[in-house]
Structure 1
């Protein structure tokens, strides 16, 4: 499946890019390549790049798995903007409304057998990103994830 990819550079934002993928987890390698390219372009270290890949992949896979009913095709768009101080990912879809920020924190003190299924993905996203915000705008789920870069850029 092909991804839609565009690039923009605006004002004090030194990098702005967008990737649209079908809701198919087989496209995740394209997402990882997209994030790797952005990280390399703005000079992020490998540790931060790996953390970003994990957080964004978790968020996007959740959309692919749950936003659209089984067998229904839909798209997931990832818009990225970077300045010297921050990196922002906006993940949007037209699927079933769901606010992951309202999800109860995963209790990581429980054993695997005691812990309910689900919730670890958003837990990871919260741990790896500095801010997370959800909005439902014009029939779209919009999840905004931000990471401070002040000590990570070259």
Structure 2
């Protein structure tokens, strides 16, 4: 897997999206799935920038490559433990004015990936997302 290490700041988002986008395109990921990849990656990275390091700054590492006919992206950070997948799905049946703020990004991560998993190893959050290559 190829790796990009960046400071967990919003200014690094463009580098993260360019890196994963180039790798996904080279791997043959469908353009529609590339758009979904960018959306979920932005959500996950912005969450790290916003919440993982409340006492200061830190880094995020993005790994990507192919595995079993999938384009796989892993995001690692050493921030506070947080299983993004433990949050409940938002109630999308409510009107936009009636919904609580937040939660749609996590919903997109679940809906736009073919497989997603969270783990915590050696004080690191690891979010793994799979996108099928057809």
Scaled by the length of structure 1, what TM-score is found?
A: 0.81
Q: CA deviation at 1:57?
A: 1.3
* CA displacement 1:103-135 (0-9 Å, x = unmatched): 000111111221111111110011110111111
**Closer, same or farther in 2 for the Cα pair 1:23/1:48, shift >3 Å?**
same
Larger Rg: 1
Scaled by the length of structure 2, what TM-score is found?
A: 0.93
- Cα RMSD after superposing both structures: 1.4
Q: CA deviation at 1:76?
A: 0.8
Q: Kindly tell me the number of residue pairs found equivalent between the two proteins.
A: 134
**Alignment of structure 1 residues 1-154 onto 2, 5 Å:** 16-69=1-54, 72-83=56-67, 85-149=69-133, 151=134
Distance (Å, rounded) in 2 between the aligned partners of 1:44 and 1:91: 18
Distance (Å, rounded) in 2 between the aligned partners of 1:30 and 1:22: 11
* Structure 1 or 2: more helix by fraction: 2
Distance (Å, rounded) in 2 between the aligned partners of 1:108 and 1:39: 30
Kindly report structure 1 stretches of 4+ aligned residues shifted beyond 4 Å: none
Structure 2 unaligned residues grouped into runs of 5+ = none
Q: Give SS of 1:107's match.
A: coil
Distance (Å, rounded) in 2 between the aligned partners of 1:104 and 1:138: 26
Structure 1 unaligned residues grouped into runs of 5+ = 1-15
